[in-house]
């Protein structure tokens, strides 16, 4: 056999790993290294142009090690390719400002959305793509495998076994991709113990561990203060429950982040009960442990919740409700973002969430000229998976509606609902003729505009004006007019065609509150099962311990 061009080595990855471990060994006692050696150890295990993941999750952050890496010498570490789901800490942006990192592939940026937009415009960051969570996780095992992963856990033993506690989130996925492709895994933990309560990550997949000077940061991303809910949120919640949840019989669902979805959760034990819906809707959830879900849990509405991550202050409540949550033998929550994303994609019949912009085709985006918030899991939750092969009543009903106006394809449809006010912050219209993300894509030379949820997956748009059922729209023009029909006093809404809107309303493609027996004046805050954080604590029988910034008593 001609050997020209054949490989001469089949274990270069292992040999490179061994060399890095040897270089870093001087800073560690076995697998344990002191916090003051963090920057030096990272400089030893990371090389220029490496692909790395600094565990930024949706909530949990390897913040101490991120700071240590940002303090590295740019002459030693530069041109790194960062692949991580969440870019949410200032240190994540500092890597690029200091020239340590150059290229970025991510999913969600949250509080760093503004800084990320500025860095992109200035050329500090070369952006690969904005991914959905599952999309990025999948690429970890294909062409974006990390060479070094920097992660966070609650505790470790001296063998490197990790206990992630309630906030497992992305950790298993990151470690799996890195450790089994001869990469280096470095962990920060809150404490070193003799025996971990639960082995979430086996020690043979972890190379180095340090005890952080402070517990890793967890953002209370899913806490919504009921005191901030307005009567518009209550009205939208009533419309969703009576106009969508009830007629479709939605039992398996996911809620996105937002005040209007929090209102739905708080209306289930009151308004939902008045409609006789307990046991008929909202029983099985793919959802972080939202505090606003506590009254529905206590009221017997919820049968099961699988979580992407945890939520600050909910640990004791979760421990006391093992029939509801997935918990380990130690009693703590076992969250897993990848598996919960899969549940949201394939096992849920409805996703309902918010966005910053919607166009006339129903496309939505959270990418604005001065803010790139990313997508997170919304495109996974908010898509109709063509690979689905099991039937359910909501899925079949939605499919039948689409077929009634000539829609073709699978016999069923997943319900994907956008729940928005007609105007956002600073009275910026949510409904637009053209998404801003198209302009950004053109200016950056991107082949694909960063649309969050594509319009052909969206089945309903709910605003305080009413519900647009896009399943019952036969043409793109009817879709556009249905969206205009609920867009309120925006320019998009004012350009509606009254005759087409009336025809769509007669068909049920547009439903105003009075069409389904809702009096907007009845949408009062008194309908909420809890109207303050303190009320949620009472509902939880004192088990919920809200973050300090939410305690006002």
pLDDT beyond 90 at 471? yes
pLDDT at 145 over 90: yes
User: Does the structure show a pLDDT above 60 at 380?
Assistant: yes
Q: Distance (Å, rounded) from C-alpha 388 to C-alpha 95?
A: 41
pLDDT at 7 over 70: yes
Backbone angles phi, psi at 14, to 5 degrees: -65, -40
Segment 421-432 shows an average pLDDT of 92
Residues 291-323, buried b or exposed e (16+ Cβ, 10 A)? bbbbbbbbbebbeebbbbbbbbbbbebbbebee
The label of the residue with tokens 């307990």 reads: 278
What was the pLDDT predicted at 8? 83
User: pLDDT (tens digit, 9 = 90+) per residue, 192-223?
Assistant: 999 999 999 999 999 999 999 999 999 998 99
Determine the pLDDT at residue 343.
97
| pLDDT reported for residue 407 | 77
Mean predicted lDDT score pLDDT of the chain? 96
CA distance 356 to 8: 53
Per-residue pLDDT, averaged over 100-111, amounts to 94
Q: Residue for token digits 């949820």?
A: 453
Determine the Cα–Cα distance for residues 118 and 121; give it in Å rounded to an integer.
5
Can you tell me the distance from the alpha carbon of 42 to that of 274, in angstroms, rounded to the nearest whole number?
Answer: 59
Q: What is the C-alpha to C-alpha distance for residues 440 and 433, in angstroms, rounded to an integer?
A: 16
> Phi then psi for 42, rounded to 5 degrees?
-65, -35
Separation between Cα atoms, residue 542 and residue 545, nearest integer Å: 7
| Structure confidence by residue, pLDDT tens digits, 26-70 | 999 999 999 999 999 999 999 999 999 999 998 999 999 999 999
What is the percent of the chain where pLDDT is above 90? 91
Please enumerate, as own/partner, the contacts of 155-158 that have beta carbons within 8 Å and a separation of 24 or more.
155/189, 155/190, 155/191, 155/192, 155/193, 155/196, 155/197, 156/187, 156/189, 156/192, 156/193, 156/196, 156/206, 156/209, 157/192, 157/193, 157/194, 157/195, 157/196, 157/203, 158/30, 158/31, 158/32, 158/192
Q: Is the dihedral of CA 509, 515, 520, 525 positive or negative?
A: negative
Please compute the mean of the pLDDT values over residues 387-405 and round it to a whole number.
Answer: 95
- Measured between its terminal Cα atoms, the distance across the chain in Å is 80
Its pTM stands at 0.95
Q: How far apart are CA 466 and CA 463, in angstroms?
A: 5
- Quote the distance between the C-alpha of residue 420 and its chain's center: 17
What percentage of the chain reaches a pLDDT higher than 70? 99
Residue 340 has pLDDT above 70, yes or no: yes
Residue 3: pLDDT over 70: no
Chain position carrying tokens 């800073």: 27
**What are the residues whose beta carbons fall under 8 Å from the beta carbon of 548, sequence distance 6 or more?**
none
Report the pLDDT value the prediction gives residue 4, as an integer from 0 to 100: 65
Please check the confidence at residue 1 and state whether its pLDDT lies above 60. Answer: no
- The pLDDT tens digits for 493-547 are 999 999 999 999 999 999 999 999 999 999 999 999 999 999 999 999 999 999 9
**Model confidence over 257-302: pLDDT tens digits?**
899 999 999 999 999 999 999 999 999 999 999 999 999 999 999 9
Half-sphere exposure of 108 (CA within 13 A, CB side): 22
What is the spatial distance between Cα 216 and Cα 105, in angstroms, rounded to a whole number? 23
The whole-number pLDDT of residue 94 equals 96
Whether residue 479 contacts residue 362, with contact meaning beta carbons closer than 8 Å, is answered with: yes
Lowest mean pLDDT among 259-268, 303-312, 408-417, 496-505: 408-417
pLDDT of residue 424: 86
Given this model, what pLDDT does residue 189 score? 98
């Amino acid at each position: 056999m001609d050997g020209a061009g054949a490989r001469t080595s089949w274990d270069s990855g292992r040999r490179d790993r061994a060399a890095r471990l040897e270089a870093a060994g001087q800073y560690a006692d076995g697998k344990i290294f002191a916090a003051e050696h963090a920057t030096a150890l990272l400089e030893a295990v990371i090389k220029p142009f490496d692909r790395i993941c600094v565990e930024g999750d949706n909530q949990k952050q390897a913040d101490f090690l991120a700071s240590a890496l940002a303090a590295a010498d740019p002459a030693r570490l530069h041109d790194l390719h960062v692949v991580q789901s969440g870019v949410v800490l200032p240190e994540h942006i500092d890597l690029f400002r200091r020239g340590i990192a150059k290229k970025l592939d991510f999913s969600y940026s949250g509080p760093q959305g503004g800084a990320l937009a500025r860095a992109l415009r200035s050329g500090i960051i070369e952006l690969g793509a904005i991914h959905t969570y599952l999309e990025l996780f999948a690429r970890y095992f294909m062409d974006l495998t990390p060479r070094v992963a920097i992660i966070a856990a609650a505790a470790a033993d001296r063998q490197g076994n990790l206990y992630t506690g309630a906030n497992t989130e992305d950790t298993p996925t990151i470690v799996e991709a890195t450790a089994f492709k001869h990469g280096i895994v470095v962990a920060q933990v809150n404490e070193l113990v003799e025996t971990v309560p639960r082995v979430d990550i086996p020690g043979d997949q972890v190379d180095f561990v340090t005890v952080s000077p402070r517990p890793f940061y967890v953002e209370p991303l899913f806490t919504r203060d009921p005191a901030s809910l307005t009567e518009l949120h209550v009205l939208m919640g009533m419309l969703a429950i009576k106009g969508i949840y009830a007629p479709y019989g939605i039992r398996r669902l996911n809620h996105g982040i937002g005040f209007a979805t929090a209102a739905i959760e708080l209306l289930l034990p009151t308004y939902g009960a008045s409609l006789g819906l307990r046991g008929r809707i909202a029983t099985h959830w793919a959802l972080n442990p939202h505090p606003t879900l506590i009254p529905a849990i206590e009221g017997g509405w919820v049968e099961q919740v699988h979580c992407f991550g945890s939520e600050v202050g909910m640990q004791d409540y979760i421990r006391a409700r093992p029939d509801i949550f997935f918990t380990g033998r130690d009693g703590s929550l076992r969250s897993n973002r990848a598996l919960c994303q899969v549940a949201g994609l394939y096992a849920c019949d409805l996703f309902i969430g918010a966005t910053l912009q919607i166009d006339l085709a129903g496309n939505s985006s959270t990418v604005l000229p001065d803010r790139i918030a990313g997508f997170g899991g919304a495109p996974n939750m908010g898509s109709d998976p063509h690979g689905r092969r099991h039937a359910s009543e909501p899925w079949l009903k939605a499919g039948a509606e689409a077929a009634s106006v000539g829609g073709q394809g699978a016999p069923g449809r997943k319900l994907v609902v956008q729940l928005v006010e007609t105007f956002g912050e600073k009275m910026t219209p949510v409904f637009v003729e053209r998404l801003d993300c198209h302009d950004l894509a053109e200016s950056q030379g991107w082949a694909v505009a960063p649309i969050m949820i594509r319009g052909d997956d969206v089945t309903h748009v709910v605003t305080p004006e009413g519900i647009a059922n896009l399943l019952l729209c036969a043409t793109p023009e009817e879709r556009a007019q249905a969206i205009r029909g609920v867009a309120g006093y925006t320019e998009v809404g004012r350009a509606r065609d009254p005759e087409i809107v009336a025809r769509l309303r007669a068909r049920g493609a547009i439903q105003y509150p009075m069409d389904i027996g809702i009096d907007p004046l009845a949408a009062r805050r008194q309908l909420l099962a809890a109207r303050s954080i303190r009320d949620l604590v009472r509902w939880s029988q004192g088990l919920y311990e809200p973050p300090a910034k939410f305690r006002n008593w």
